[in-house]
A and B are shown apart, each in its own frame.
Chain A
Amino acid sequence: MKLCKIAQVAMALILSLVLFPGCNQGAGASGAGSSNAQSSTSARSLDEIKSSGKVIIGVFSDKAPFGYVDSNGQYQGYDVYFGDRIGKDLGVAVEYVSVEPANRVEFLETGKVDIILANFTVTAERAEKVDFALPYMKVALGVVSPDSALVASVDDLKGKKLIVAKGTTAETFFEANYPDVELVKFDQYTETFSALLDGRGDAFSTDNTEVLAWALQNPGFTVGIESLGSLDTIAPAVQKGNAELLDWINNEIKSLASEQFFHEDYKATLASVYGDAINIDSLVVEGGVIE
């Protein structure tokens, strides 16, 4: 029995030893990036990247059309198109690493990738842990509805039923700003589209990229409102404190504006999904400037 107690105490000690360095470092990294600048966990400098001959970029491998792997095993998509350009302008090869939404910050904090280009939405919480460069894309809410009763503005929604998925930004946005719009809520994302098809609601709102792509596949439905609500931006991210690489990416994004690079990127990667009918400028950001 006594042995049992000793074992318990020892276990607690070991647990805290194993887990504590992780927590401690995490807090340190968000507080001051310079605290671990000497260690190899710190990001590589521009010179180190160039002399190694490759830049390591974390991208999604299963989020078509932004970052995915084609049938020949090649990384493709809007983010990857930009990643390829970064490699070309740095004069190095690009090594892509498959990341997940949940580990993007970790990959940067431990210096296992140089840049994250994985549809990374800029939020205040994330900005405490990583450094975001200028945005290259923006997302907002969109509203899709049948052509026969098109909802072209929020005023059109009065007295109508709007379908939303629980826990999405659409739900919180409409509850906070338009409490008089009647919401029909669904637990699962997949249910919402079929609910709209069945006529269980008059319109459906979620991220504009999603409704735009869906409307293109479903004739008879149109995205009447392409951009609504608070605009979120998507930007490349580097490790906290890696100012050199951050500046380089910012300058790169600014200089690419002259050739309308991200419009080209859109045409090469997103146009087949979102079509030419939509306003490119409601998604694409050039030179990091948001109107």
Chain B
Amino acid sequence: MQDLGILLEGRNLERLLYGLWVTLRISFASIAASIICGIIFGVIMTLRNRVLQAVCRIYLELVRVLPQLVLLFLAYFGLTRAFNINLSGETSAVLVFVVWGTAEMGDLVRSALISIPRHQYDSGYALGLSKADVYMSIILPQTVRRLIPLAINLATRMIKTTSLVVLIGVVEMLKVGQQIIEANRYTAPRAALWIYGAIFALYFLACFPMSLIAGRLERRWT
């Protein structure tokens, strides 16, 4: 139990919380941009244009096939090698997560859109509503409701995947934790359990409110 004291030693807790801040600012910037780009991408994918569909398909499959780690290396080291573009570690991370998030989110939006039965559109038109009205009042509310659980799932996945950014030199929460554990490796070998416990709690605190909000939104809209 006295190993828990490691957490309060010096500026350790402050460092861990700063690590959480790095994790969250990368995640939230990426999630926000992914949702906006993803909705646009998803709508484009439902358009009946074969060329557009092929392009979207290629983009989606390409991003899905490549592991995020490869994408991070391509953005951080690859862009510098090939085009002399020097992005900072955090910028590269956000870029990669937006590219990935847009593809995943777009596919979720597409599936939510096509899951709305045809008769919902037809009933709207039969009532004399304009196309815009049908979308705004009938289709979109239903789409968003179906989308929320999936989007939250994606968002929490993105938060957790940010632990990879350490490989392009960005020190986030998990890395700070490992630094604390290793700095005390000889004096407190059992501190690892407590530090990982603290990290677990912080990840939970970051992800759980999103689930709560999502649950509330779903209930309100039903």
**Interface of A toward B, CB cutoff 8 Å:** 3, 6-7, 10-11, 14-15, 18-19, 21-22, 25-26, 39-41, 61-65, 68-73, 76, 97-100, 102-103, 106-107, 109-112, 213, 217, 273
Contact = CB atoms under 8 A, between A and B. Distances in A.
B184 to A, nearest CB: 8
Contacts, number: 106
A62 B179 contact: yes
A98 B168 contact: no
Contact of A41 (B9, B62, B81): B81
A-B pairs, 5 with minimum CB distance: A71-B10, A21-B82, A62-B182, A25-B81, A110-B80
Interface stretch (B70-78, B103-111, B126-134, B154-162): B70-78
Interface string B170-191: 0100010011111111100000
Contact of B81 (A15, A100, A102, A110): A110
Given A7-B58, A10-B58, A71-B12, A64 B84 contact: no
Contact of B169 (A3, A71, A102, A107): A107
A107 B181 CA distance: 25
Given A64-B186, A68-B183, A99-B169, 15 more contacts: A10-B54, A22-B82, A40-B84, A62-B179, A62-B183, A64-B182, A64-B184, A64-B185, A69-B15, A73-B15, A102-B167, A103-B73, A103-B167, A109-B77, A112-B86
A213 B167 CA distance: 28
Contacts of B62: 11, 14-15
A72 B77 contact: no
A62 B178 contact: yes
Interface size bracket, B side: 35 or more
A73 B182 contact: no
B175 A22 contact: no
A242 B186 CA distance: 38
Nearest to A21: B82
Contacts of A110: 77, 80-81
